[in-house]
Structure 1
Amino acid sequence: MSNLALTARGTDSVPINASFIGVATAAPIGVGVTGHRLERLAAVDLPELATRLADVMRAIETAAPGRRFRLVGSLAEGADMIAADAALARGWQLDTVLPFAREDYANDFDGTGAVDLGQGLDRSANVLELPGRRDDPGGEAAAYERAGRVVLTQCDLLLAIWDGDPPRGRGGAAQIVAEAVAHAIPVLVVHPDTAKAPVLLWSGLNSHDSGPEAVDTVARGGLVDLPRLMARLALALPTADKPRERRVAPDAPPMFTVAYPLLLALTGVRRLRVADLRKPCPAPRLSPAGPSSALDARIDGQLWPQFDRADCEASLAAQQFRSAFVSSFALAAIAVTLALLGLLVPVAVKPLLAAGEFTSIAIILIVTQWGARAGWHQRWLDQRTLAEELRCLAVSASLGDLFLRGAHAHDSEVAGQERRDIARRIGLPSARVDAAYMASAHANLVALLDDQIGYVRREAARMHMLEHRLHRLGGALFMITALICAGVLGIEMVWTLTHAPGANHALPLGITVISASLPAIGAAIYGIRMQGDFAGAARRNASLAVQLDEVRRVAQDEAPSFDQLRRLIRRTAELLTADLSQWVRATKARPLSLPG
């Protein structure tokens, strides 16, 4: 092999592929490949196998007309290399995951194979060189297993050239197929025997979700089912002539968004700010001082703008939704109080009170209907979910972990669709995973943990303070009402004992108004507490802070290896998304509705 072919590719040497630039361009669907090496294919007609793979790829393209594809594999001699040649011949993008540094990996090939490897690497859009070590016990097998798992996290569909036999070692085709099925990644199996038709292993062929599957239990189909699969995968892929349709909600007047910040100010949680009356917009991001890699450019150009948009939309929708139920309960209490005041005021003033009561009820109806039609509640949940998942993706992408699909992925979820679309645009990093690269990824993880730990602690303290003060205020109102009622009973008892039977007296109507208004206000406060679930939010955030702090402690105890760092990043993402899922379930059960 030539020295040029084996020269380590720097992270900046690969130009940014045009497919990753521009929202109107559809992101390529990732097809991973795993399969047998040449020794397992000794009795197979390799040209015939290449023709079958080309036919399968043509069937995939036919099932998704107008879409682009990228093949992700390791260019191992045998199935990987044959599939790579077929993909390149069809104009697919080729991304390569090497289990070792390329100079070390070349030792697995003879003279002709080494030339083919060099040519494949030169034609690859991105090459990720993993830090495999042959001198460690079991290190070689672990390196191939690691590369296979990275391929899995990069693909929407796994193409497996597999004879169906059980695993013969770590990282083989059988193991990768089993892990793909367990993670709900569709697998298209091409048997080396030409007499056996390709088989699609995909849990999506079931009419219901039966949980994690195994190779022996997963639903089976064929090439005829590819259009159904591709239609599912293409849901999140906008095209130039058919951009993604986004529901645009009308901007609400400032009065619709000020109630919740005003509640925070009145309870002493935080001061009212001018920004509370303005639509949130992302702060400008600083350009990196040093040279950036192609992956960094894709993250900066594709991920962070979408994160900023989702974060601002979520903040606005959250403030609109919270302000809507705060104002609804408050105005309901005001309406009751105005009705009671009609007992005290002159007849000439009563029309004004009636008008005020009518206005309060009208505003409640307008805000509730506006919020329901604009989808403040659902938009808040969708965009917050998307923002948090993108925050984690920005860290995990540097280690090749896109995890496009999974056992808990639901294609009907807006946030999941958009996250997978952006993940496809980020793609595979082109880098050598050395000590400096690992240190950078580790620093990004620590920065993410520090940011999230600080945020959830502040949010826990804020929600606890809000819940505590509303609880005390509501309790005080009911206590005052109880004291008024006790005073009235005392007055009645004294009157009865000190006056002749049949003597008449009347208490001031103001006492009746107050004793009826205070419980109405207390009930409104209770409704705000229950709708906002501030106590639950405080508990969840406090618990999450403890769990994230534990992950940070583990990350700082010693410099993690590649596999350990991937697990820590995955654990962080699991904690953040699990907490988010609990929060979504808690808030989804409390949609915006009329107080009653």
Structure 2
Amino acid sequence: MPEAEYERDFPGSVAQFRTLRAAAESMGGVTRLHLKPGFTPDERTETYAQVGAFTLRNCDILIAIWDGQPPRGPGGTAEVVARARAAGLPVLHIHPHTDRLTILRSRGRQSAYSPRHIRAIVRAVTGVRPSTPRHQSHEALGLLRSPRVKASVKARDFLFEGPYEKAPGAAAHLASRLYPNFIRSFRDREFKAARKPSFPAEDNKTAQFLFDYFQRTDALATYYSDLHRSVFMAVYVLGGFAIVAAFTAVLLKMATYYYCAKSATSSPCVVQGVKLDLAATATITEFVILALILILWRLDRWHGWGDKWLNYRLLAELLRQADVAA
């Protein structure tokens, strides 16, 4: 909607409204959605409804400047307010003609405005408790640090009362180090250890609980990433050996035909009456290597190491955000 249209609803405080909106916009709290010109009435109505749906999907508290009248079309303020209340979103209703502010809740409940009610709503949405010290900002929750856990640490029950994953065996742990050690060999020097930040201890149990699981999933994502990449690195290396074995078999076959075809008794290919077929040995070696490649590929597919890497990484990033919002 053009700005001039909704500014007509409060002509006496347009300057104050613009000042407040500019302050919110400077902090990234304003999203402008422009309707393109040339829409048909039906297209404009549908787009207007989509703007209302977008607003509901991206807000925790809806502030509605609304005259309280029934909806006069789809996507209007009355419809957006009704959908917000049905979804359980708190609505701060500002009447444009009386300047009265009412707090609308779900199931038809409402209450008069009071700073105490507003603080309660904000605390319910953000999870910030009144006892939280002022110097511990909400963003500081995301900077919590605790001792680094390893993939082998026993996990507590999480979603659906099931453990994350059993501790990996020694062979799997050793195999997972192939790729990291290979990458580390190209470093000019080792990275310096990061210093532990000096943030005060956080008593938010929810944040600490989520951060523990974030560390667990982060460690598992790193472990399965290393294991998956180590397997494919081994496949590529073994593939190179298989090619070398194949070329060796061809060359030895040619050499055997050249040196051993004339005389089987005086040939260097006969040792103590046993004929040595080096070309066949190289061919067998090639097929053994190809079998190892197939086994490694099948193991990765069977155990889903690549999928576990991506799934645990996604869960870790979701828990990282939940930890900040706790």
What's the TM-score bracket when you normalise by the shorter of the two chains? 0.3 to 0.5
Give the structure with the higher percent helix.
1
The structure with more radius of gyration: 2
TM-score of the pair, normalised by structure 2: 0.42
TM-score (norm 1): 0.25
